[in-house]
A and B are shown apart, each in its own frame.
Chain A
Amino acid sequence: MKELSLVETVSEYLDARSFHTVTELPFLQRRVDIVGYEPTKGAIIAVEAKVKNWQSAFRQAVTCLLFADEVYIAMPTEYIHRVDHSEIARFGIGLLEVNSSVHVVFKAVSSHYISYNHRKNVIDRVQWLEMLQLKGQYNANQ
């Protein structure tokens, strides 16, 4: 399974749960793989997807704790055993197992690190990216 497939599968999973999802959202000089925003509840979920390298996903996921209510690492079934559960649980990060569907291995804990300003910036960017996507100017997979 490629990272692109992971991202698509998780995006569809969040879309089906009323989240507005965007991919490759720029944040603090990185791009967050998936950000889901649920406007009625004002909830934000961030997901970092990696095929094999969970440490890399973890480092990026930690940054997402600054704006998202829940942060997850998504990995395919065949490599998910590599993840150090205690390390990611230390920061309340959850884990998603992805094959043809998405299975929550363990749920994320609400972030204790949220900064209001970062969160506001991210919501603005979700809306900006949605607009670009509607205009066809944005290709996250490029």
Chain B
Amino acid sequence: MPINKPLHLMRLGVHAEQKYFELNKDKFDIVVFNANLAHHFASGTATLMTSKLNGKKFIIDPITHAYGHHPRYIMTVSKDGSLPKIKSSLESLAYEYGPPISTAVSNGRQVSPNDFSSIKPIEQFAKSVIDFQANFLASAIDPSDRKYITLADIDAALKPDFLIAPYFYMKSTTINDWLEINTKLVAASKKVADDSNLYAEIVIDRGILDNDAELTKIATAYLALAVCDGYLLWISDLSEHQSSWSTLCGLRKLVGILAQSKKPVINLYGGYYSLLLFRFGLTGVCHGPGYGEDRDVIPVGGGLPVSKYYLNPVHQRLLFRDVQFMVAGDVWRNIEDFYNEVCSGPICQDVLSGDLENFIKFGEENVRENKGRTYSYPTTEARYLTTQHYLEAKAKEFNDVAEKDLKVLIEQLKEAKGRYDKEMPGAQLRYLDTWVAALQ
């Protein structure tokens, strides 16, 4: 059956974000949990899916790639000077998955292709990862709590919409090490997935998108996998706003090859460019509440929070101060111009209340002094407002892509570049030209 609207997936990064999922549950289709979060907060996750998000579809990304990197990338350094150790949520998940993951973790090393040199560890690992996704949340509900849940079939509500085979990250130098193992893991997972749909997750370095031979090798290997029911993509550290034309063309090509299977193809970390690839065979796009349109497989530090406002016509979160500068510079002559050109969603209507002077509320901040230095950071309310605005803008983008002709959407990108390029000092809107070129 043809899908006439892109699937909208939202990733829950931390449980504190639950309110955004609850408030916006009509705006997206599927919740994505990382396995370590689901495992570490099993009861809370199960409760979320049986109460506040009752009836919503969800999936669990098994994030098995985490164990294929050097352990230093998944370690935390404590402030008391003790030795770095594996993050507790990943350590406990490793023991849930069992060998060879648990063996590698207990030995303080990463998983290597040698750990999967025969079919037995492949089958064993695939089974434990699939079993975890299929059954763990249902087992996490305290039996005594079941009577308080009004759902007719709790266990069914805690089954993921589809299961994901274990996978490892591939870059140019490791394709030959991991590609065959990854495809074998998909085949082995299908054998234990019972009647559930099984997706293959393809996690690659963004550089592969620029290498036609490598890209084709990976895409055709997965295309040939008759056993899987869909594909998930994670192109590590691919910023659609900073990528070259050739990289974005590579993503389009990868989607095009996989779409030949007539199976769903979903980008787990994507922005508006990915959304436009709906017209080229991409089925869905995932992001987080206000962030998560790109992500490196290697965790990077967060830093201090910064206010950002999603400027809808340019499809990018910009620093609040830059958008405030545009407001102060009368880029929009009046509130009606702003509503027409930028956003007339409920949050913007409510915050602005007919007066652009109120735009400042999106950037309100607190200041504090600590150890002789001063900091400013967004207020909780400002973060809530910018996040809610982002989610409203995203929902509108998904609708627009479903409803409007691609030519119209491309024309809008060109218009936005012409309209705003000179209005933002230091702003880089060249990506809009790059997107247009990569889509034509």
Contacts and interface: CB of A to CB of B under 8 A. Distances in A.
B3 interface: no
A29 B372 contact: no
Contact of B378 (A29, A113, A128): A29
Contact of B360 (A24, A112, A115): A115
A66 B328 contact: yes
A114 B357 CA distance: 11
Given A25-B374, A66-B321, A138 B304 contact: no
A86 interface: no
Interface in B365-419: 365, 367, 369, 371-378
A10 interface: no
Interface in A21-75: 24-31, 55, 58-59, 62-63, 65-66
B306 interface: yes
Contact of A114 (B321, B328, B377): B328
Nearest to A136: B372
A68 to B, nearest CB: 12
Given A26-B374, A27-B376, A28-B321, A132 B369 contact: yes
Contacts of B360: 115, 117-118
B328 A115 contact: yes
B361 to A, nearest CB: 9
A138 B373 CA distance: 6
A137 B372 CA distance: 6
Interface string A129-141: 1001000011100
B365 A29 contact: yes
A115 B306 CA distance: 20
Given A26-B374, A115-B357, A138-B369, A59 B325 contact: no
A58 B425 contact: yes
27 contacts: A24-B374, A25-B374, A26-B367, A26-B376, A27-B376, A28-B324, A29-B307, A29-B319, A29-B321, A29-B376, A29-B377, A55-B426, A59-B425, A62-B425, A62-B426, A63-B321, A63-B325, A66-B321, A113-B328, A115-B328, A117-B357, A118-B360, A125-B367, A132-B369, A138-B369, A138-B372, A142-B373
Interface of B: 304-307, 319-321, 324-325, 328-329, 357, 360, 363, 365, 367, 369, 371-378, 425-426
